Every structure is written in structure tokens, then in C-alpha cells.
């Protein structure tokens, strides 16, 4: 399975147009949620006039709609509009849209072509890249999913102007993750960076994409090194599931909390030095609007359901220094609980 073509910035729109022209005799669908339809759809089509006749599929916004019920509704719409094997699906939106659209494309007629056009910072640096699709099941994050590469990923930073500040901050959570697992110099830059839309952000987006692409190329199906991309996500996803619907705990913020907890465990297990751990803890605490977690027992129950677990053992990513990560480290439930209590102690 080939990796996707990734195009970044408006200078690449002419190349994207050539790709869309290949489907001029086929049915083209654009999947949006209520937010990307309102703020991004007209802007997107204004750059690509050949998409004016595309069929628009709209879903509600939010993690609660990343489900089989949504796939059922969209499949019926595909059938009603006579979608075919050679049809094209364009996912215009954030991570939920790319996850749902990617999954739908992977299973409809045993696979159709699709393109991701991420409109949030989080999806531009993470969710749209790498060919992972995912659906939630019984509030468990990404319990269902597939590996299915988009034909193209079109990164347009102009869409970030439509975001509220908390969405921008959420995306920075994933950018910080890349620095901690792979790029110490990037970490140094981020410590001095404000959450602003500027030329530095475009450089950070490109740098994040390169890190993820290089890792995915080595391990397309998540057997080994690709797992380091999950740093902060074992605990982060569990918090997100346990705090379902609480706006204080969006994906990026939960990943930041997860990184603090998993850095704590890395330190406790003697992978990470005291000095580096304190630097991570103080930096993330100062940069992000974090809050105490009230339902620790529920978080623990979701950790036990994490898809990375093996032989009934909890497996996490640890870091041995800033910019270097190790995967498949076995930890106990008590290790997780201690890290959560430590995090809460910072906010007593």
C-alpha cells in the first residue's frame, strides 16, 4: 500500500486541481460536518471550480457521532446517489470527519478513493496523516478502524483562521508530542512559542508532518516503531472517554495530560531523568489550560480497554529523553493510578 501524496499550502492547489480533474467523469462526494460546512466549504470550492457539482454529505459535529450509526447513514446516502467503485470522497473537516470518511471509503465497495482536506490544526498535523481510520464503540476511542491510505492530503493553513482559540491549542498538543518523541530542537522552539497563527506555525505544521510521514513509512501497519506516535494517548484517550462531552477535555488537552502522566511513569521506571521530567511537567502545565480529573476509576477502566494492550498487560510509550521514545513498555494499573494522582496533585 502506497503512502499518500501530501500537498501543503496554496502553492500546491494547481497540483490538487490536476488530481481532481481525473475524476471529472466520476461522482465526487464532499463530506463535511456542520462546522466545516459553515466555515470552510465555500472557501474550498472557490479554489476548485470543478467541485461545484460535487454531492455534499453532512454529518453532525463531535466525537459522539464517530460511530457505526453515522457510517450506516452515510452508506445509505452513497447508495441513494449511486456511488461507484471509481467515485471520489473528499473529507473536508477535522479529525472526526477524516476518521469517519476514511473508514467509509475503506469499506464501501471494498474500497474507493478518498482525499483528506483537514481544516483544524489537530487534523492537519495528525489525524489526516498516516492512513489510520477509527470509530468509537461504547465510548471507547477508536475501537473499530482500518488502515487505508488517502490518495492525497491537502494541507491548507488558511482554514486555521476559522478556528476558535481552544481548537488551536488542542492542535498544539499533538505538535508538542512530536517534539517529545522525535525532535528535541523542536521542543526548544515550542517552549518559546505562543499559540498564534503565524509563519512559525506553518513551519511547525510541515515539521510535524515530516516526522509522522517518516515514522509511518517505516511501519505502515503499526507493528513497532509507529507506536511511538501514541505517546500520551493511552492515558489521554482514557481521559477523553471518561470525560465524554466535557469541553475542558478535548482531544489535544487530554493528550497533554496523558503526556504528563506517561512522562511521570517514564521517570518512576527510571527511563527519564528527574531534570527532563520536571522540564516537561512545568512546560506543559504553563502552556496548556489543564484541569483536575475527577473520575480516576473510570479512566482506569478505559485504560484497560486500550487497543495497544497485549496479553492483558497495559502497554504505553515512555520517553528516555526529550526527543526519544520507546514503545511496548508494560506497566501496572497502579503505575497509571499513581500518575493520575500525581497530575491531580498539581491542581489541588
pLDDT, tens digit (0-9, with 9 covering 90-100), for 70-81: 999 999 999 999
Shared-domain flag, residues 251 and 120: no
Shared-domain flag, residues 145 and 204: no
Residue where a domain stops, chosen among 127, 162, 197: 162
User: Which of 62, 73, 148, 56 has the alpha carbon at shortest distance from 105?
Assistant: 148
Q: List Cβ neighbours of 127 (8 Å cut-off, separation of 6 or more).
A: 94, 95, 98, 99, 118
Instruction: Provide the CATH number for the domain around residue 208.
Output: 1.20.1090.10
pLDDT the model gives residue 290: 96
pTM over 0.85: yes
Shared-domain flag, residues 10 and 153: yes
| Other Cβ atoms closer than 10 A to 208 | 25
- The whole-number average pLDDT for the span 147-176 is 95
Contact 209, 8 (CB under 8 A): yes
Domain extent for 308: 165-345
Cβ-in-10-Å burial (0-12, 13-18, 19+) of 24 comes to exposed
Q: How many domains is the chain partitioned into structurally?
A: 2
Distance CA 128, CA 148 (A): 11
Q: What is the dihedral of CA 224, 230, 234, 237, to 10 degrees?
A: -140
Cell of 261: 502522566
Shared-domain flag, residues 48 and 149: yes
Shared-domain flag, residues 140 and 183: no
Shared-domain flag, residues 267 and 311: yes
Shared-domain flag, residues 158 and 196: no
Residue where a domain stops, chosen among 162, 190, 219: 162
Shared-domain flag, residues 24 and 80: yes
Residue with grid cell 503505575, as numbered in its chain: 335
Percent of the chain with pLDDT over 70: 99
Q: How confident is the model at residue 2 (pLDDT cuts 50, 70, 90)?
A: low
pLDDT in tens, 19-72: 999 999 999 999 999 999 999 999 999 999 889 999 999 999 999 999 999 999
Cell of 83: 456511488
Distance CA 82, CA 137 (A): 28
Using DSSP, state whether 282 is helix, strand or coil: helix
Shared-domain flag, residues 108 and 213: no
Instruction: Provide the CATH number for the domain around residue 66.
Output: 3.40.50.1970
pLDDT the model gives residue 321: 97
pLDDT the model gives residue 115: 98
Amino acid at each position: 500500500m502506497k503512502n499518500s501524496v501530501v500537498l501543503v499550502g496554496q502553492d500546491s492547489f494547481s497540483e490538487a486541481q490536476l488530481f481532481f480533474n481525473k475524476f471529472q467523469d466520476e461522482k465526487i462526494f464532499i463530506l463535511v460536518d456542520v462546522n466545516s460546512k459553515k466555515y470552510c466549504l465555500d472557501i474550498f470550492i472557490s479554489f476548485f471550480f470543478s467541485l461545484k457539482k460535487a454531492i455534499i454529505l453532512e454529518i453532525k459535529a463531535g466525537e459522539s457521532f464517530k460511530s457505526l450509526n453515522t457510517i450506516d447513514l452515510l452508506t445509505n446516502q452513497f447508495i441513494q446517489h449511486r456511488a461507484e467503485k471509481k467515485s471520489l470522497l473528499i473529507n473536508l473537516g477535522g479529525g472526526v470527519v477524516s476518521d469517519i470518511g476514511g473508514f467509509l471509503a475503506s469499506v464501501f465497495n471494498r474500497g474507493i478513493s478518498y482525499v483528506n482536506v483537514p481544516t483544524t490544526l489537530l487534523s492537519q498535523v495528525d489525524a489526516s496523516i498516516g492512513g489510520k481510520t477509527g470509530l468509537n464503540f461504547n465510548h471507547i476511542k477508536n475501537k473499530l478502524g482500518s488502515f487505508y491510505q488517502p490518495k492525497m492530503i491537502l494541507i491548507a493553513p488558511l482554514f486555521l483562521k476559522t478556528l476558535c482559540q481552544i481548537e488551536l491549542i488542542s492542535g498544539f498538543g499533538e505538535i508538542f508530542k512530536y517534539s517529545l518523541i522525535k525532535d528535541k530542537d523542536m521542543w526548544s522552539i515550542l517552549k518559546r512559542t505562543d499559540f498564534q497563527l503565524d509563519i512559525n506555525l506553518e513551519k511547525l505544521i510541515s515539521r510535524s508532518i515530516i516526522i509522522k510521514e517518516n515514522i509511518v513509512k517505516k511501519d505502515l501497519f503499526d507493528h513497532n516503531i509507529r507506536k511511538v506516535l501514541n505517546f500520551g494517548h493511552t492515558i489521554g484517550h482514557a481521559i477523553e472517554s471518561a470525560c465524554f462531552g466535557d469541553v475542558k477535555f478535548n482531544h489535544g488537552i487530554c493528550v497533554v495530560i496523558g503526556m504528563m502522566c506517561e512522562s511521570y511513569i517514564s521517570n518512576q521506571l527510571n527511563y527519564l531523568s528527574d531534570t527532563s521530567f520536571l522540564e516537561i511537567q512545568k512546560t506543559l502545565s504553563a502552556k496548556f489550560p489543564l484541569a483536575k480529573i475527577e473520575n480516576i476509576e473510570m479512566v482506569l477502566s478505559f485504560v484497560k480497554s486500550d487497543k495497544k494492550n497485549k496479553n492483558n498487560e497495559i502497554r504505553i510509550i515512555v520517553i528516555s529523553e526529550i526527543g526519544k521514545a520507546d514503545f511496548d513498555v508494560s506497566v501496572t494499573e497502579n503505575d497509571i493510578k499513581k500518575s493520575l494522582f500525581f497530575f491531580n496533585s498539581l491542581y489541588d
